Amino acid sequence: MELSLQHICKSFGKKEVLKDISFTVKAGQAMGYLGRNGAGKTTTLRILSDIFRADSGRVLLGGAPIDRDKVRLGYLPEERGLYPKSKVGEQMMYIGRLRGMDAQSAKKGAMALLEELEAAEYWPRKLETLSKGNQQKIQLAIAVLHDPDIVILDEPFSGLDPVNASMLKRLIVKQVERGKIVLFSSHQMPYVEEFCEHICIINQGEIVLDGKIREIKKTYPRNKVAVWPEGDAAAFLRALEGQSAWPNVAAAASVTNDTIVITMKMERDKQALMQMLANMTLGVDRVQVVEPTLEDIFVEKAGTSV
Amino acid sequence: MKQILTVLRFEFMTFARSGAFIGITIFMVLLALIGPAIPRAIQLINGLNIAAERRIAVVDTANRFDTETISGYVAPAVTLFGDIREAREAVVSGDYHYALHLHGDNFTLYITAMGISVMNMEAGIASMLRDRYRFEAYSALGIDADTQLAIAGFFPASEIMNLSPAGDITEDTAGGFVTNMIFSYVLSFVLYFGLLAGGSYIVTTVVREKSTKTMELLITSCKAGHLMNGKVLGVSAAILTQLALMVSSAALSMALFGGVEGDGFLGMLNLTFDPYIMGMLVVFFFLGFLIYAYIYAALSSTVSRMEDASSIQTLPMMLVMGGFFMAIFGMTNPGALWVNVVSHIPFFAPFVMFMRICLGTAAVWEVAISVSAQILTIFAVAWLGARIYRMGTLMYGNKPRIRDLCSILLAPFS
């Protein structure tokens, strides 16, 4: 089963927000949908959630036009919001029932999710008495309460402390493991990198990068090597620069936190550099090829830092 | 349908459990219990006044009246005094409530203390003196006592014949015309405040759902039309429950305390429970509420800030007020052509047609037409409202202009 967006266009007035957007997400995978603020991420997710209709293009599920009356869809909007004066349990059951659950299964499912998120004690409490992070946990629980086939999460990690973020991560990973189609947008690249096989970067309404992270990274030159020497990194680098082969191999080098990062002139100079390191009298703890981070890729494709 | 019922139940429970709803319901129920009991209370208080042991010292200079005669006109405890000074001292000492000094045919001095009113006493004594004067005058003319009684007992009979618009004789619905006017007035107020309170609640909940960003979650969980219908019906059900409690309380109070006979204002307040009018109140209230509730829901979906919520209520509020005041003014001439026309316009019918029903000037077929027109209007405003609601729920920022609403209505459904 896969979810495909094909040639989606959407304008608001004269502003063209989405220009021929196409991508595919497979079941049992999480796709990170990345882009700068205002790039069109939320509009895409809203079209997927049927909040907006696309001006043109199609949304397919398993190759056929998606039938939203039959497909269970879980959505965590970017703009979080529930009833502040209502009790957590009541509103979880309310949303569950709106999504077709009976009262008993809604209650059982909601309690199970709250327990998983270590938030069961909040069941009888009014939402407004909870911290922002805990309110967000309730929101995420509501998004997956009805066991959706497709999970769409808009900035799920924003505003969460590391403990809650880790809890949330486990919940999302569980959805992926259960074969759900998971699509989420985030500005927190480490989370995306951690459990997304697939990313899609949108910039000014156009998809500028789409593919598996590992394959995307392979397309980048592997001409950076990180070296962790046993002793003083600065002294180690000076000794390395003293070797006669250095000017032929290295284009640049820097020391950061006891780590030396060497940029080679050519990717194939890796063997020569290894030989130079072997010739050193000073010891080396670890050597590793430095891959571009997702943030590096994002900055390159979206044009600015997040 | 299941979604509508879920929203309905949630909205009903949320509204019915709110402090404002409970407070207003208790207040209205108390009012419904107390209102119809007022004539009985007035009668009881009057009775207590009469029955109270008001001791009266009477000085009759001409010796024309005995205690029995005076007691028959004012109060039982009458004592004749020979001297006005003694009578005055009796009042000052507190042994007597009043002292009367009857001078000749037509003058009485009332002596009272501690602010005790002589109003009832005055009327009684005046009647006594008038009757005595007439008796003496007629006797002087040679008219015997029986003839005098026959003349005094003459009272012209009257009867009110109510005609329906078709010219048929109809029964007077609850009492007199004025009583019906009071009834209609009171129920118009109930309708007026019910519509405004319910409408205002709908606006508040919709705008709050938008301002707290709950709306986006809701419309991905439920169809916008279902959401609006559930909300409108839930609030309507709560308001109708409130009305049912009020009507039941009024019915109970009327059964226990109604049916008071009396003249003047007391008689006008003599409200009796009329199942037809009460049934029509519920029908017209429900239909009117639904029409306005859909308008309120649709308009409120287009604003996202609480400070804009009041301005968006202006249009429906003007319509509600228009209907209310037309009904009030129409009461003075319920048969006028303009009243007839306006009573068939669905936005005003809940007030004006209902007023005509209360006053007995609406034929059954007219009521049927009015109800049908309102039902059709409900479907129309629900359909149009759903279009606005669907788009309005995602409108954030400045409140919309009329042309924005028109463009939503005319736009293809996307």
Provide CB contacts within 8 A for A231, sequence distance 6+.
Answer: A282, A283
pLDDT for B190 beyond 50? yes
For residue A222, how many other CB atoms are within 10 A of its CB?
A: 14
Tell me: the pLDDT tens digits for B152-169?
778 777 766 666 656 666
Q: State how far the Cα of B318 lies from the Cα of B348, in Å rounded to an integer.
A: 11
Phi and psi torsions of B138, nearest 5°? -65, -40
Which helix or strand (DSSP H or E) is residue B187 part of? helix B177-211
Tell me: the pLDDT tens digits for B13-57?
888 888 888 998 899 889 888 877 777 777 777 665 554 567 888
Which pLDDT value is given to residue A305? 43
Tell me: the pLDDT tens digits for B209-222?
777 778 878 888 88
Q: State how far the Cα of B166 lies from the Cα of B354, in Å rounded to an integer.
A: 18
Confirm if A126 and B252 have CB atoms less than 8 A apart: no
Q: How far is A303 from chain B (nearest CA, A)?
A: 29
For B18, the closest chain A residue by CA position comes to: A85
Confirm if B234 and B9 have CB atoms less than 8 A apart: yes
Across the interface, of B221, B394, B414, the residue whose CB is closest to A99 is: B221
Closest CA to B223 of A106, A68, A142: A68
Q: Which residue has the tokens 């997956």?
A: A144
pLDDT for B136 beyond 90? no
Q: State how far the Cα of B305 lies from the Cα of A189, in Å rounded to an integer.
A: 34
Q: State how far the Cα of A219 lies from the Cα of A222, in Å rounded to an integer.
A: 9
Alpha helices in B141-176 (DSSP H): 145-152
Contact A80 B219 (CB under 8 A): no
Q: State how far the Cα of B274 lies from the Cα of B277, in Å rounded to an integer.
A: 5
Task: Show residues of chain A in contact with B214, CB under 8 Å.
Answer: 81-83
Q: How far is B176 from chain A (nearest CA, A)?
A: 50
Residue of B4, B5, B207, B220 to mutate, testing the A interface (most A Cβ within 10 Å of its Cβ): B220
Q: Which residue has the tokens 């032929």?
A: A248
Which helix or strand (DSSP H or E) is residue B79 part of? strand B78-81
Tokens (6 digits) for B391: 């788009």
pLDDT band, residue B265 (cuts 50/70/90): low
- A86 in contact with B, Cβ within 8 Å: yes
Tell me: the pLDDT tens digits for A68-100?
778 888 888 877 778 888 889 988 999 999 888
- A77 in contact with B, Cβ within 8 Å: yes
- Average per-residue pLDDT in chain B? 80
Cα dist. A253→A249, A293, A296, B355 in Å? 11, 18, 18, 92
Angle at B68 between CA B66 and CA B71, to 5 degrees: 110
Which pLDDT value is given to residue B372? 93
Tokens (6 digits) for B18: 């709110």
Q: Which residue has the tokens 């074969």?
A: A179
Which pLDDT value is given to residue B371? 92
Task: Show residues of chain A in contact with B7, CB under 8 Å.
Answer: 98
Q: What is the pTM of this model?
A: 0.69
Which pLDDT value is given to residue B251? 79
Tell me: the pLDDT tens digits for B80-108?
888 888 888 888 888 888 888 888 767 77
Tell me: the pLDDT tens digits for B62-83?
888 888 888 888 766 888 888 8
Phi and psi torsions of B79, nearest 5°? -125, 135
Give contacts of A 119-178 with B, CB under 8 A.
139, 142
Task: Show residues of chain A in contact with B394, CB under 8 Å.
Answer: 51-52
DSSP one-letter code for A129: G
Tokens (6 digits) for A224: 């950076």
Q: State how far the Cα of B99 lies from the Cα of A36, in Å rounded to an integer.
A: 98
A-B contacts at Cβ under 8 angstroms: 51
Confirm if B268 and B177 have CB atoms less than 8 A apart: no
Q: How far is A12 from chain B (nearest CA, A)?
A: 12
pLDDT band, residue B374 (cuts 50/70/90): very high
Task: Show residues of chain A in contact with B219, CB under 8 Å.
Answer: 51
3-state SS, residue B400: coil
Strand partners, A252: A263
Residue of B17, B210, B217 to mutate, testing the A interface (most A Cβ within 10 Å of its Cβ): B217
pLDDT for B175 beyond 80? no
Confirm if A101 and A109 have CB atoms less than 8 A apart: yes
The crossing angle, in degrees rounded to 10, of helices B177-211 and B275-300 is: 30
Q: How far apart are the first and last CA of chain B?
A: 22
Confirm if B162 and B357 have CB atoms less than 8 A apart: no
Which pLDDT value is given to residue B62? 81
Strand partners, A34: A201
Contact A82 B216 (CB under 8 A): no
Strands B107-112 and B56-60, bridge-based pairing = unpaired
- A38 in contact with B, Cβ within 8 Å: no
Which pLDDT value is given to residue A306? 42
Extract the residue ranges of chain A whose pLDDT is less than 50. 305-306
Across the interface, of A52, A75, A81, the residue whose CB is closest to B212 is: A81
- A204 in contact with B, Cβ within 8 Å: no
Closest CA to B358 of B219, B220, B246, B190: B190
Q: How far is B226 from chain A (nearest CA, A)?
A: 10
| Exposure string over B4-18, b if 16+ CB within 10 A, otherwise e | bebbbbbbbebbbee
Closest CA to B316 of B345, B332, B296, B334: B296
Residue of A42, A97, A152 to mutate, testing the B interface (most B Cβ within 10 Å of its Cβ): A97
Please report the sign of the dihedral spanned by the C-alpha atoms of residue B231, residue B232, residue B235, residue B237.
negative
Tokens (6 digits) for A109: 């499912």
Contact A80 B213 (CB under 8 A): yes
Angle at B238 between CA B234 and CA B244, to 5 degrees: 135
Q: State how far the Cα of A85 lies from the Cα of B353, in Å rounded to an integer.
A: 40
Chain B contact residues (CB < 8 Å to A): 2-3, 6-7, 10, 14, 209, 212-222, 394, 414
Contact B216 A81 (CB under 8 A): yes
For residue B133, how many other CB atoms are within 10 A of its CB?
A: 12
Q: Which residue has the tokens 């072997």?
A: A278
Across the interface, of B6, B14, B216, the residue whose CB is closest to A79 is: B216
Which pLDDT value is given to residue A250? 84
Across the interface, of B6, B10, B220, the residue whose CB is closest to A75 is: B220
Which pLDDT value is given to residue B376? 94
Q: State how far the Cα of B202 lies from the Cα of B235, in Å rounded to an integer.
A: 7
Q: State how far the Cα of B298 lies from the Cα of B314, in Å rounded to an integer.
A: 13
Please report the sign of the dihedral spanned by the C-alpha atoms of residue B233, residue B281, residue B348, residue B198.
negative
Q: State how far the Cα of B3 lies from the Cα of B230, in Å rounded to an integer.
A: 8
pLDDT for B174 beyond 50? no
Q: How far is A286 from chain B (nearest CA, A)?
A: 49
Tokens (6 digits) for B357: 């029903």
For B221, the closest chain A residue by CA position comes to: A99
Contact A142 B215 (CB under 8 A): no
Tokens (6 digits) for B69: 């005669």
Residue of B221, B226, B227, B396 to mutate, testing the A interface (most A Cβ within 10 Å of its Cβ): B221
Tell me: the pLDDT tens digits for B236-258?
888 888 888 888 888 788 777 76
Which helix or strand (DSSP H or E) is residue A271 part of? helix A270-279
ipTM of the complex, rounded to two decimals? 0.74
Tokens (6 digits) for B202: 């709908």
Confirm if B205 and B12 have CB atoms less than 8 A apart: no
Closest CA to B388 of B227, B196, B178, B211: B227
Beta strand spans in chain A (E): 2-12, 15-26, 29-35, 56-61, 64-65, 73-76, 150-154, 181-185, 198-203, 206-212, 224-229, 250-256, 259-264, 284-289
Task: Show residues of chain A in contact with B216, CB under 8 Å.
Answer: 51, 77, 79, 81
Which pLDDT value is given to residue B373? 92
Tokens (6 digits) for B174: 């609850």
- A103 in contact with B, Cβ within 8 Å: no
Alpha helices in A63-131 (DSSP H): 88-98, 103-116
Contact B221 A95 (CB under 8 A): yes
